[in-house]
């Protein structure tokens, strides 16, 4: 763990994608896991914190972290449990995802017997990254422990990055609880990386500029509002600027674009780039990702940040 700069926290799912011939291809899925992979490919020491079972599929996911250069030290194991599953169906012309994740051990990451190992590692990292999907997993007990660990880490000089990534189904339609939990997260956030369309749904923000002002009110010092093919709005306490997409391309598959954007932005900032340059780099990696099917490009592709 000494070389770990970033800890990404969340859930990785087993993914079955239905092809046009009716057969299923096996892969994996998870927003913060995708970000962890692209961070590691950019040369950033990265660990992934989650919980898996002791089954062959969980073993396969752990093996994948090794291939990608991600530390598996913070993957807790839950005896007798199985990871969550998602099935992706593209055969009807639209991407449809179905989930079986209610019993996923990742939901209890901060309630498992060894959860304090995650909290202790958080104190020693340089940056902690999580998302709104991460928050939707946990009970109130788990959230309380997670937020307490974030506070202690920040007191220790660790920065916190948060992609709001709001998905209504993860909150069972309880927008009031989602807003309450997000507000608690934002109070402990140094870098916010939301997508504007998510903010418009959850908060009713009329513009990216309105999103910036709302996040500034929580004390967030560095804000990047992703806006699809539009310009990203980058804000610090005393300035704001639009950073346009260098080249708008027709996407093959937009899955994972925001996750790759987050990874490239954070990798660039960790290596000393300004927020504007980091955003431009993030646009470029996201463009590469949407030019390929699926969230993860093959390792032979260019993944420079």
Sequence ranges of the domains in the chain: 6-11+31-82+104-290
Cβ atoms of 6 and 45 within 8 Å: the answer is yes
Band of residue 206 on the pLDDT scale cut at 50, 70, 90: very high
pLDDT per residue as tens digits for the range 87-134: 988 665 567 888 999 999 999 999 999 999 999 999 999 999 999 999
Is 259 among the residues known to form the active site?
yes
Confidence of residue 220 (pLDDT cuts 50, 70, 90): very high
As beta bridge partners, residue 8 has 48, 129
Q: Coil, helix or strand for 45?
A: coil
Residue closest to 207 by CA, chosen among 225, 192, 228, 189:
225
Task: Give 300 or 68, the one with higher predicted confidence.
Answer: 68
Assigned architecture for domain 6-11+31-82+104-290 = 3-Layer(aba) Sandwich (3.40)
pLDDT of residue 93: 54
- Kindly state the tokens that stand for 157: 């000089």
Instruction: Report d(CA 168, CA 182) in Å as an integer.
Output: 13
- Catalytically annotated residue among 29, 163, 198, 259: 259
pLDDT mean across residues, the chain? 91
Q: Can you tell me the distance from the alpha carbon of 229 to that of 252, in angstroms, rounded to the nearest whole number? A: 14
């Amino acid at each position: 763990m000494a070389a770990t700069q970033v800890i990404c926290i969340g859930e990785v799912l087993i993914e079955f994608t239905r092809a046009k011939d009716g057969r299923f291809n096996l892969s994996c899925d998870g927003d913060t896991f995708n970000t962890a992979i692209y961070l590691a490919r950019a040369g950033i020491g990265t660990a992934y914190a989650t919980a898996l079972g002791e089954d062959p599929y969980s073993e396969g996911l752990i093996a994948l972290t090794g291939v990608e250069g991600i530390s598996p030290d913070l993957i807790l194991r839950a005896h007798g449990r199985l990871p969550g599953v998602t099935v992706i169906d593209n055969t009807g012309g639209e991407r449809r995802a179905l989930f079986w994740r209610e019993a996923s051990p990742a939901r209890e990451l901060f309630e498992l017997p060894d959860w304090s190992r995650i909290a202790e590692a958080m104190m020693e990292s340089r940056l902690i990254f999580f998302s709104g999907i991460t928050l939707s997993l946990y009970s109130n007990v788990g959230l309380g422990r997670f937020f307490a660990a974030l506070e202690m880490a920040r007191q220790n000089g660790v920065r916190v990055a948060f992609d709001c990534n709001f998905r209504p189904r993860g909150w069972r339609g309880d927008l009031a609880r989602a807003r309450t939990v997000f507000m608690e997260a934002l109070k402990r956030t140094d870098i916010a990386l939301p997508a504007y369309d998510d903010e418009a749904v959850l908060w009713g923000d009329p513009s990216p500029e309105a999103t910036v002002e709302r996040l500034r009110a929580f004390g967030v010092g560095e804000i990047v509002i992703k806006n699809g093919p539009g310009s990203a709005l980058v804000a610090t306490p005393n300035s704001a600027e639009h950073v346009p997409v260098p080249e708008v391309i027709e996407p093959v598959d937009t899955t994972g674009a925001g996750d790759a954007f987050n990874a490239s932005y954070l990798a660039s900032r960790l290596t000393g780039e300004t927020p504007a340059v980091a955003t431009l780099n993030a646009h470029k990696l996201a463009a590469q990702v949407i030019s390929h099917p699926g969230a993860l490009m093959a390792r032979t592709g260019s993944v420079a940040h």
